[in-house]
Amino acid sequence: MLRWIRQQLGFDPPHQSETRTVYVANRFPQHCHYIPQRFADNRIISSKYTVWNFVPKNLFEQFRRIANFYFLIIFLVQLMIDTPTSPITSGLPLFFVITVTAIKQGYEDWLRHKADNEVNGAPVFVVRSGSLVQTRSKNIRVGDIVRVAKDETFPADLVLLSSDRPDGTCHVTTASLDGETNLKTHYSVAETSVCQSVSRLEALQAVVECQQPEADLYRFVGRITVTQHGEEIVRALGPENLLLRGARLKNTKEIFGVAVYTGMESKMALNYKCKSQKRSAVEKSMNTFLIIYLAILLFEAVLSTILKYAWQAENKWDEPFYNQKTDQERNSSPILKFISDFLAFLVLYNFIIPISLYVTVEMQKFLGSFFIGWDLDLYHEESDQKAQVNTSDLNEELGQVEYVFTDKTGTLTENEMQFRECSINGTKYREVNGKLVPEGMTDDSPDSATPQMIGEELLFLKAVSLCHTVQISYDQPDCLGGGDPFSHANGFSANHMEYYASSPDEKALVEAAKRIGVAFTCSNGDIMEIKSFGKSEKYKLLHVLEFDADRRRMSVILQTPSGGKVLFTKGAESAILPFTTSGEIEKTRLHVDEFALKGLRTLVVACRHFSPEEYIDVDRRLNIARTALQQREEKLQEAFSYIEKDLQLLGATGVEDKLQDKVQETIEALRLAGIKVWVLTGDKHETAVSVSLSCGHFHRTMNILELLQQRSDNECAEKLRSLARRIKEDHVIQHGLVVDGASLSLALREHEKLFMEVCKNCSGVLCCRMAPLQKAKVVRLIKTSPEKPITLAIGDGANDVSMIQEAHVGIGIMGKEGRQAVRNSDYAIARFKFLAKLLLVHGHFYYIRIATLVQYFFYKNVCFITPQFLYQFFCLFSQQTLYDSVYLTLYNICFTSLPILVYSLFEQLVHPHVLQNKPGLYRDISKNSLLSFQTFLYWTLLGFCHAFVFFFGSYILMGEDTTLMGNGQILRANRQLMFGNWTFGTLVFTVMVITVTLKLALETHFWTWMNHFVTWGSIAFYFIFSLFYGGIIWPFLHTQDMYFVFVQLLSSGSAWFAIIIIVITCLFPDVVKKVFYRHLQPTNTQKSQSLSAPQTENLSCMESLCCYEHGQSGCSRLAHFLEQMTGQCHTSSRGNRSWSDTENYSNDRSILTLSPIEATHC
């Protein structure tokens, strides 16, 4: 226990060495000097709290909020000194807010505990004492041999010892880890692969030495030492030998593995990333307003205290005959009295700080986030995926985006690759009907390429069929084992197998080679079999030189059927061509550039033949590098560089990745909304520019500026200055900037300001050849610029995670590159086109709702507490409260809370179709305009004005009504009687509740039955509650000040008259202002509201970007034209649009109606 406490405090780290030694089956050395290492148990803990720490930890987190801490201080002050209000008035709302938040967080954590218990209690089989024992997952220890059956998940990180296959391999999927659904092959070392039974495993003597746990899923460095007949055999272990917790066993009956990392030390657990807390602009504004209101509160408290002592300077007011001081009060310290009075006034006015604001905002965000998931327009029917909300704290930030950073592959494109062209030995070919046809020829021409290829063409196709990591899945489960699955006429059948690949490019190339006639048909251990035009050939796989982001190529070393050794390699042209010494290098380089200009993804293929002596040297270098425990990566890179040189160029491939649906319209909509779009991609320059042009990111009329291949800081600075000059000279023309990764590194190093100046004057920016961290640096550069714009990053792959986490709002695309981007994002959508509605509609709604909620909360609390401040001028600053303590407590909790919550969930200033049809309306709410200081000042002053009307209106209209002379009569200087102070306070409170509720009703544009229910229901509830509260003598109340007060008030006709007059006086100027501004100075939003009524009902699908119904895609121009031609779409009245130059939104064109069209109903 003591050691655990020391570990938690960081005094006793669990791992002292850089490596760990794992004894298989926990057979420790028998000598007495061995001290066993201590490892974590196999429990997974994703929960935040335990039964013991929930209360203190949760309270600590909640009281870190400034409003909660402030009310706690006020509550403690009320307990310690004699204050005018009961501690319950502050304690009850505080208790309500803390309790609601604690219940919500406790329930979420209970769900995490429940999920943890299911995982930790799952049954597993472990080899112990010579037999297979069933136990729970949490009981697995490092060193245990674990058995996993087909379709089960691995309960810990295991080093594969053996499988039911003779070669000791197994297939796994890692979809839950990185989202890749392809089959991955893992291997066991030859010495352990024969241990396929419990008895042989029991006799196994082996020790695994490996690195300490780290989060990288694709890195594992270790070695296994197997003792056989007294001899120690050492084998290297790498990622291909490690089975990760969370992965699933496929196409293999069972495996045995030794646990090396358990519980929270497994790679899956180490990848549980605590996302940095993102705070929205609204939350920052809210905190600023809270500080301003705190200053107002302190000012009112200090002023009241000073005026009290100024008033009491006269003896007749200092100690009146009816309130004689005690000796203790006369002798007390003036400073202590001043502090005590100041604190009393602080308590009296403390409700100007709205404690329930936080809990209302939290509920609004949580409940409002469901609308995104429920929106059928954001549902993708083909993949059966709906939008996801991973964090609801940033809903309103969707309405403030100024920059969108998007990945290209899989985000703008489909990530569905189709082989189009290739270059072999300097000749371009294209695929036609399963044949390779040279450029300029047709399939039926006499000189067309025949299936019987020879020489370079055949070698190129063999390289494509063999240089990959593609796996084959068979329909017949046992076809890998015994019988020949390729016994049909052509030697293989497409029905028998399906290719799985981590890279869509690889899969497309292997499938293309198969269609042409060179098919990859079998992978059995280290044997790779291809059928070249029906002739079977078997190659032995000697080594795989894995792909990595630095080399940007991958290679395989094979033994040919004739016994020769050959290396096939493929990769980016910049990673292959510099290392080639033979072949048609210049022609191929030109062909690669041509492919890229067409928007094709390019790969270059090369080979190298080894002599027997060369291969012995290569094999020795690879084995030394792979068995190294220290600096293995560096040694492998050296070996790879030594091997991948002196290459013979075979050719290049061009694969097409087609654009997603409606990408061009979406980018245009974002541009019209005032949002700048940057494309950040790892593709080469020509491919990226071609795709940017085709998707509308760049226009053909744009002046494309280039910052490419800069070699030095001075060269880069000079180029940036020349680009800045060109932009100033051609200020009328739109500019687009293309920059590559190397030049970007130089620009960001010392010329950030100059680079930013060029970028901000460009309509679109394209960054190519980008590394993942460079993407994040670009986002951070814009995010931290002086204007502090709101940024959004969207991508679909693991390489986009860094920029998704860096941006203010991160959006993951549910694409084909896994789920890492989705897991690390704030929101997830299935297609890029859904981004338009997410921002233009949902973002717009969320922002106006929460902006009004925040302003209204401050307004109603100013209305609430200012009459209390004014009342002190009429009671000699005696700290007499104007309202009853029950009303003080329930004002924010019951009487005025529901209308604003419902408003903040359902309000729509403009119809959603109009918002999509007019992206320019997004500009009206940009830069946090609805929470500007000017708007904040308006709502605050409005609150003060209404409070003055409540107080003085009640005083003037009712001050001489002698029928209401109730309890607490006050004798005025002119000997006239004013009605009782509780009656007066209740009148002010009644007027206030009605006015602030109706004020929100005036602000509401979109009325639902729920709005009506809570608006009129809140007023009715106040009246019913007050009648019961004041009409019955409650035995548990200490005082009965309000007994019969409300009934007496309502029995007076003049009171009803006063209520009506005061409410009209407060709200009538608001109505006049709204009418005046709407007719004389209407905003773009108000102009568009006229479209929301009858015209929106007739909006056609053609007039809306995303006007889909029930998840179906909208109409397109082509679809509309075809429907008209076939008579399937009936034409309604003309819906021509005219745009006048005098309109404020003259550039705000409908996305699909840039010219007058005929509106049709789809």
pLDDT bin (cut points 50, 70, 90) of residue 74 is confident
pLDDT of res. 320? 60
Q: In what order do the strands lie in the sheet with 790-795?
A: 388-389, 827-829, 809-813, 790-795, 401-406, 676-680, 764-768, 735-740, 703-707
Q: How far apart are CA 97 and CA 357, in angstroms?
A: 9
pLDDT of res. 446? 46
429 - beta bridge partners? 422, 438
* Arithmetic mean of pLDDT, 798-821: 77
CB 64: neighbour CB atoms within 10 A?
9
477 token code pair:
């489960």
Q: What are phi and psi of 813, to 5 degrees?
A: -95, 130
pLDDT of res. 455? 76
Checking if the pLDDT of 489 tops 50, the result is no
pLDDT of res. 853? 92
821 token code pair:
């981007």
pLDDT bin (cut points 50, 70, 90) of residue 1091 is low
pLDDT bin (cut points 50, 70, 90) of residue 1145 is very low
Element at 767 (helix H, strand E): strand 764-768
pLDDT of res. 443? 57
Checking if the pLDDT of 1068 tops 80, the result is yes
Tell me: the pLDDT tens digits for 97-106? 788 878 877 8
Checking if the pLDDT of 309 tops 50, the result is yes
Residues 6+ apart with CB under 8 A from 891: 351, 864, 883, 989, 993
pLDDT of res. 904? 92
**Among 544, 560, 649, residue whose Cα is nearest residue 606:** 649
737 - beta bridge partners? 705, 765
pLDDT more than 90, % of the chain: 16
Pick from 146-160, 1006-1020, 1024-1038, 1082-1096: least confident? 1082-1096
Q: Which residues in 392-457 belong to E strands, given as ranges?
A: 401-406, 413-424, 427-432, 435-438
pLDDT of res. 1117? 40
pLDDT of res. 566? 92
**Average confidence score pLDDT of the chain:** 78
pLDDT of res. 330? 60
Catalytic residue among 144, 157, 407, 657: 407
pLDDT bin (cut points 50, 70, 90) of residue 5 is low
Cα distance between the two ends of the chain = 71
pLDDT of res. 1159? 34
Based on the residue annotation, tell me whether 683 is a catalytic residue of this protein.
no
**Among 375, 391, 371, 389, residue whose Cα is nearest residue 283:** 391
pLDDT of res. 698? 84
227 token code pair:
């003792």
Q: Across 230-234, 954-958, 1120-1124, which has the greatest mean pLDDT? A: 230-234
* Arithmetic mean of pLDDT, 893-913: 89
pLDDT of res. 242? 93
Checking if the pLDDT of 946 tops 80, the result is yes
CA distances from 272 to 177, 181, 269, 797 (A): 11, 20, 5, 17
Q: How far apart are CA 621 and CA 73, in angstroms?
A: 70
Q: Are 352 and 865 in contact (CB under 8 A)?
A: yes
* Arithmetic mean of pLDDT, 250-265: 89
pLDDT bin (cut points 50, 70, 90) of residue 272 is low
pLDDT of res. 175? 61
pLDDT bin (cut points 50, 70, 90) of residue 318 is low
Query: What is the residue whose two structure tokens read 């993102």?
Result: 278
Query: What is the residue whose two structure tokens read 């072999």?
Result: 424
CB burial of 474-484 (b: ≥16 within 10 Å; e: otherwise) equals: eeeeebbeeee
Checking if the pLDDT of 482 tops 90, the result is no
Q: Are 262 and 39 in contact (CB under 8 A)?
A: yes
pLDDT of res. 158? 94
Taken in order 825, 829, 833, 838, the sign of the CA dihedral is negative
Give the chain's length: 1162
pLDDT more than 70, % of the chain: 80
pLDDT of res. 1119? 41
H-assigned helices in 81-173: 87-120
Identify residue 397 by its one-letter amino acid code: E
Residues 6+ apart with CB under 8 A from 594: 428
Tell me: the pLDDT tens digits for 81-100? 777 667 777 777 788 878 88
User: Of 486 and 589, which is predicted with more confidence?
Assistant: 589
CA 98 to chain CA mean position, Å:
27
* Arithmetic mean of pLDDT, 921-929: 86
H-assigned helices in 708-819: 713-729, 741-750, 752-760, 772-783, 801-806
Tell me: the pLDDT tens digits for 717-774? 888 888 888 888 776 678 888 888 888 888 877 788 888 888 888 888 888 877 777 8
Checking if the pLDDT of 1121 tops 50, the result is no
Query: What is the residue whose two structure tokens read 């691995």?
Result: 154
Element at 384 (helix H, strand E): none
* Arithmetic mean of pLDDT, 1110-1132: 38
User: Of 609 and 313, which is predicted with more confidence?
Assistant: 609
Q: Are 817 and 798 in contact (CB under 8 A)?
A: yes
pLDDT of res. 393? 78
User: Of 34 and 56, which is predicted with more confidence?
Assistant: 56
Cα Rg of the chain (Å, integer): 37
**Among 663, 659, 176, residue whose Cα is nearest residue 409:** 659
User: Of 446 and 973, which is predicted with more confidence?
Assistant: 446
pLDDT of res. 872? 86
* Arithmetic mean of pLDDT, 1110-1123: 38
Pick from 322-326, 947-951, 1067-1071: least confident? 322-326
pLDDT of res. 176? 60
Tell me: the pLDDT tens digits for 521-549? 887 767 888 988 888 889 998 888 887 76
Pick from 389-398, 700-709, 1012-1021, 1025-1034: least confident? 1025-1034
CB 865: neighbour CB atoms within 10 A?
26
* Arithmetic mean of pLDDT, 480-507: 54
Checking if the pLDDT of 331 tops 90, the result is no
pLDDT of res. 496? 62
pLDDT bin (cut points 50, 70, 90) of residue 655 is confident
* Arithmetic mean of pLDDT, 333-341: 78
Tell me: the pLDDT tens digits for 172-197? 877 666 555 567 788 899 888 888 88
* Arithmetic mean of pLDDT, 631-649: 87
pLDDT of res. 653? 92
* Arithmetic mean of pLDDT, 699-708: 80
